[in-house]
Structure 1
Amino acid sequence: MDIRRRNNVHVVGRADAPVLLLAHGFGCDQNMWRLVVPALAERYRVVLFDYVGSGGSDLSAWSEERYASLDGYARDVVDVCEELDLRQAVFVGHSVSAMVGVLAARDAPERIGTLVMVTPSPCYIDDEGYRGGFSAEDIEELLGSLESNYLGWSSAMAPVIMGNPDRPELGQELTNSFCATDPDIARVFARTTFLTDSRKDLGSVSVPTLVLECGQDAIAPREVGAYVHAAIPSSRLVTLGATGHCPQLSAPEATAGAILDFLGSPR
């Protein structure tokens, strides 16, 4: 199988530099990274890709069985790493992809040497002693609305996820991205995203890790960032002076700057 075509892989930046592998979240594609790529590519080799079912990926390679769990997305990450022979890469995962990176690093430790988790959440549902931001009823209502009217759900939820109501163009971009996703694929990815509880997997992380959160985020409140940071002893928590769940779009300079500050100068 041609992994580069299947996952719409693109490589930019310095050919002789360490690798950053950028992974998008639910309803998005690699285009969501475009505003941070120029700054990152000045110092690093940057690998962009789409999960199967998203963006410019080969939709014929998608199957509900594989992508009904985060393991299927982690397999995509490992496949891309193996295809490009990446070793000790920096995995930058947005939203649900932060947890995909945890699984990929566990499954292929020689491939991923550092994690950058951008607005991560290991579990969206509140539990005893844990605030994920939603009740179980909230999530079932959210998923029911998505499945009954995906385009309507996208138009209503994307601006909430994006935040920054004073910059409506950002919410519109996320709406357009959601609406470009096949509804059947989106339904499966949404259930995988919002119903998975990956809290137990955080204990497997032993690589240097940056946890990036926003000051205000309707999807991943700051209690979640604190939880992830506490669960990963090798992590650093940075709170961006930004709002919303997608700081790579709403605050690209701050996002790229935090990543570069954490990584330091390439050797």
Structure 2
Amino acid sequence: MKPAKKNNVRQLGNLEGATMIFAHGFGTDQSAWDQVIKAFISNYRIILFDNVGGGKADLESFSPNKYTSLQAYAEDLIAICEAYNVKDAILVGHSVSGMIGLLTAIKRPEFFSKLIMIGASPRYLNDTDYVGGFEQQGLNEIYETMTNNYFAWVSGFSVAAMANPENPQLAESFAATLKAIRPDIAQSVARVIFQSDYRKELQKLNKPTLLLQAKEDIAVPLSVAEYLHKNIKNSKLKVVNAFGHFPHMSAPQEIINEIKQFI
């Protein structure tokens, strides 16, 4: 299937300009970038897409037997870049798409000139001399709750992850895109993400990289961002004045300012 349909790809903005690709994280879709892309749409060709399993990506394309690692999503991103003649683009990836972008850039470095990762993590589980933020028992409890009462889990997780109680519409928006995902798919994708470990891949990346991290993030602690900064050469870490796992939604101007300064 062509990427345009498989991943609901959209091109916006100045189609003659340099390319910026915005890749969303788990539980959201390309609409998560609505406020950020406004700042770049006049000068750049903007490419948006939905990861398989979410948004308006082709539902039949998802198979838990295929999407067993982030490499499968990287293959989708490669196909998108090939189909749209991408070269030396700026990739902005949120959360899991930060690692998907890294894997893609390692395999096909000609696609990207710079990477920007927002709330990215190479491993969510704590390990010896590594604080990822989660213990296996805690993750098992998340999977169990997702299985037993998915919509109740969505209600609680969306509020905690957004961490902006003064703007409840943000959590409601996140909850809406989570609820739109079939529960069995959401759990399958969550397991792939939370059980992943791409720490050994970090030093293979050789692109200028901006790491953006919120002050507090229930999914990705600051120690993870610092680990990324230490292990990705030519990287810059910036803690933005925002709270929660979705600063591009809750504090878009902060993210816009940092991206503009970087590029």
TM-score w.r.t. the length of structure 1 is 0.96
One-letter code aligned to 1:103: L
User: Which whole-Å CA distance do the structure 2 matches of 1:195 and 1:126 have between them?
Assistant: 11
Is the partner of 1:110 in helix, strand or coil?
helix
Q: Tell me which moved more, 231-240 or 61-70.
A: 61-70
User: Which whole-Å CA distance do the structure 2 matches of 1:191 and 1:113 have between them?
Assistant: 31
- Structure 1: 5+ residue stretches without partners: none
CA positional deviation for 1:203: 1.1
Aligned to 2:261: 261
CA positional deviation for 1:210: 0.4
Mapping for residues 99-110 of structure 1, pairs under 5 Å? 99-110=99-110
The count of aligned residue pairs is 263
Aligned to 1:210: 210
Question: Conserved in 2, the CA contact under 8 Å of 1:105 and 1:113?
Answer: no
Q: Tell me which moved more, 121-130 or 30-39.
A: 121-130
Aligned to 2:65: 65
User: Which whole-Å CA distance do the structure 1 matches of 2:123 and 2:147 have between them?
Assistant: 21
Among all aligned residue pairs of Structure 1 and Structure 2, give the percentage whose two residues are the same amino acid: 38
Displaced runs of 4 or more, over 4 A = none
Is the partner of 1:144 in helix, strand or coil?
helix
CA positional deviation for 1:98: 0.4
CA displacement 1:115-153 (0-9 Å, x = unmatched): 110111111111111111111211111122112221111
Aligned to 1:48: 48
Is the partner of 2:26 in helix, strand or coil?
coil
Aligned to 2:231: 231
Aligned to 2:160: 160
TM-score w.r.t. the length of structure 2 is 0.97
Question: Conserved in 2, the CA contact under 8 Å of 1:92 and 1:115?
Answer: yes
CA positional deviation for 1:43: 2.6
User: Which whole-Å CA distance do the structure 1 matches of 2:148 and 2:97 have between them?
Assistant: 25
User: Which whole-Å CA distance do the structure 2 matches of 1:65 and 1:28 have between them?
Assistant: 22
One-letter code aligned to 1:126: N
Aligned to 1:133: 133
One-letter code aligned to 2:114: T
User: Which whole-Å CA distance do the structure 1 matches of 2:185 and 2:109 have between them?
Assistant: 29
CA displacement 1:26-57 (0-9 Å, x = unmatched): 11110111010110213321100011221111
User: Which whole-Å CA distance do the structure 1 matches of 2:191 and 2:166 have between them?
Assistant: 30
Is the partner of 1:125 in helix, strand or coil?
coil
Is the partner of 1:215 in helix, strand or coil?
strand
Question: Conserved in 2, the CA contact under 8 Å of 1:68 and 1:192?
Answer: yes
Aligned to 1:121: 121
Aligned to 2:22: 22
CA positional deviation for 1:259: 0.8
- Aligned CA-pair RMSD: 1.0
